[in-house]
Structure 1
């Protein structure tokens, strides 16, 4: 049923407001969405910040790699600096705590834990799983959250620290080759062995048989990032459990 599909505002609705900012999340709260999605990284001095890119140039008026920047500098930047068409007021990079405080009791939150990155070298922010779990506990939002990541082997650590949390493996073409032998069966078994509740797949990797296979293994299926009404309707009718969009206003016409 279409009505059962969880409607998720990607980065708060990245085509409608500066992504991953409180302005975007506030706007999402008045739209027909069930959840907001955000990205979490760590400043050099260990603060959880809500930001997508490994570097700040695309979105802000600053320069540098998140790994190398202290919280005070990151907070001095305008995260709306390059929003297409401009934005009426500067937006700070928010903390995870600020976003949780904003949405608590109103919507669910999907938290993507990002890898650390310097150039082409990927790693893991030290202690990030523990820090995210502790913030969710502090906000009393463990039951309102799904923690997802491309770093699949981080997810069992999240689950170990807080068994009540739902987790999800994010799937992209960099991770999975649908043409490989037994690709679908192997994929679903891997995700289940990680203790995940969700498989969150890039829209370009969706296959018609995927919902039934995922559901047959006791998992739920999300699809990202879907920005046309026609495709949203098609995927909702296919039996997926969640749809993520940069244009959450489209959800009002999803029927």
Structure 2
């Protein structure tokens, strides 16, 4: 049995890795999938393993058999004989030993993936007792590959690394991996170069998009795990000139997204509590006497920067008080430590903590602390919005529902400490419709309001991602409408302002806002 990886792939220098066998062609983690990957000339064939109640190591990704086999039972509570009865031929749950035997004598390596260390000892035992001439490598969780290393000093290890910083030298020394294996969004040229400088190879997973394949190859990735093996082989043959044109993906790795959402929520809870109890210190001003800054603003932003640097390495921060700049393709946090500082400085209990994560102009994670209610709005792109764990979901208007503004509340904010051009006209038009206006002094809370049923809409004349991006993502994920001053739906206007509204009121509110702005422009031309 060989545990040494091949020196190079059969398609140039790239190692093409089939995810869960050839999962697109055959049922995943079956002998049929492994055979299909062999026929497609995969360099590595990744499979997942779990252990039955009676100690047999089988190929299976999920803890239960429900998704693939229609049996809502954990494999750990079933004997091998029960699991073996599902499916037929090579379309069934196989033993790890069968998969190892299938790759024996071929040029492919079986890459064994484990998400817990419990399977390590029985899986290593199976590999040791299997057919000679089979190549095997190991990946999965850090705990699992650490257990393999303890059991087998010669094992070929793929180190899991889903962070944007460099693996520490002591970890590399302890595990002695041949490959650093990352979910592809965390890759950067610096990370790839550092891994190569350490004499190791870089692998990434699971890459099924053509442009993403080109991008990771342009960085110098040595191995790519994919469900689209043929597509990867075609892209690999294109060459560097084609790869270099690919855009960087605007997404986070899965584990990174989970960590970012957790860190953001913790920071919002901390900021709410800190702001309510902290000493304001000497209240200073910035641009003018109405533009306040307190010791709380500074302390909160400093804390945010410190936590993000410690727990989300490779992320940048742009803040209201300490500035900063975003970098192309790099996760960037936009923080307003106290939105509504004038309120705070004057004892008015209506302020917010605003924090949003974006890559380029694509918002991904947001939290908004409603300081004096002690509440936290949160949103993750594509996954919805909530307040204190309760889902925010604006119901679409019924087909025949009237969208009358009479009796409703609309919010807006001053531009600095002044009315924005056209604001008086806007207020007059709302008054004529018996719609009440609120100007509360926190653009973040005002913009998020419609998502939580606090009024039907909000107009912010000058959008700033530091102040407003978190609230915008909350509204979008709650099912509200966001448009810029040209009427284009967007959570991040390229310039100008933004309107957030319940869907049934969005068109009318935008028409009033546009009319008010147009009247101000016409008045300026007359003068």
Tell me, yes or no, if structure 1 residue 167 matches structure 2 residue 157: yes
Separation (CA, whole Å) in 2 of partners of 1:185 and 1:170 = 12
Separation (CA, whole Å) in 1 of partners of 2:71 and 2:115 = 20
Tell me what 2:36 maps to. 27
Tell me what 2:136 maps to. 145
For each residue in 1:23-64, what CA deviation from the matched residue of structure 2 results, as whole angstroms up to 9, or x when unmatched? 111111111311100001101111000000011111112121
CA contact (8 A) 2:157 2:175 kept: no
Tell me what 1:118 maps to. none
Separation (CA, whole Å) in 2 of partners of 1:190 and 1:103 = 30
- The structure whose RCO (Cα within 8 Å, separation 6+) is larger is 1
Choose the corresponding residue for 1:252, options 222, 233, 244: 233
Separation (CA, whole Å) in 2 of partners of 1:141 and 1:55 = 32
Separation (CA, whole Å) in 1 of partners of 2:203 and 2:77 = 33
TM-score (norm 1): 0.80
SS of aligned partner of 2:149? helix
Structure 1 or 2, whichever has the larger Rg, is 2
For each residue in 1:127-186, what CA deviation from the matched residue of structure 2 results, as whole angstroms up to 9, or x when unmatched? x32322222222356872111121x133233223322211122234xxx4x4xxxxx135
Choose the corresponding residue for 2:20, options 3, 8, 11: 11
Choose the corresponding residue for 1:236, options 200, 207, 217: 217
Tell me what 2:326 maps to. none
CA contact (8 A) 1:12 1:19 kept: yes
Choose the corresponding residue for 2:57, options 48, 56, 74: 48
**Equivalent pairs, count:** 226
CA contact (8 A) 1:200 1:222 kept: yes
CA contact (8 A) 2:104 2:132 kept: yes
Q: 1:166 to 1:186 in 2, by over 3 A?
A: closer
Separation (CA, whole Å) in 2 of partners of 1:76 and 1:143 = 27
Tell me what 1:84 maps to. none
Residue 73 of structure 1 deviates from its aligned partner by 1.5
CA contact (8 A) 1:143 1:164 kept: no
Tell me what 1:96 maps to. 96
SS of aligned partner of 1:166? coil
Q: 1:74 to 1:199 in 2, by over 3 A?
A: same
Separation (CA, whole Å) in 2 of partners of 1:159 and 1:190 = 12
Q: 1:69 to 1:187 in 2, by over 3 A?
A: farther
Q: 1:213 to 1:56 in 2, by over 3 A?
A: same
Residue 21 of structure 1 deviates from its aligned partner by 0.7
Separation (CA, whole Å) in 1 of partners of 2:60 and 2:125 = 19
Q: 1:113 to 1:50 in 2, by over 3 A?
A: same
TM-score (norm 2): 0.40
Tell me what 1:226 maps to. 207
Q: 1:90 to 1:132 in 2, by over 3 A?
A: closer
Regions of 4+ moved over 4 Å = 140-143, 186-189
CA contact (8 A) 1:61 1:77 kept: no
For each residue in 1:212-254, what CA deviation from the matched residue of structure 2 results, as whole angstroms up to 9, or x when unmatched? 0111223221000011233223322321121100111223312
Q: 1:188 to 1:76 in 2, by over 3 A?
A: farther
What are the ranges of 5 or more consecutive residues in structure 1 without an aligned counterpart?
A: 80-88, 116-123, 179-183
CA contact (8 A) 1:100 1:139 kept: yes
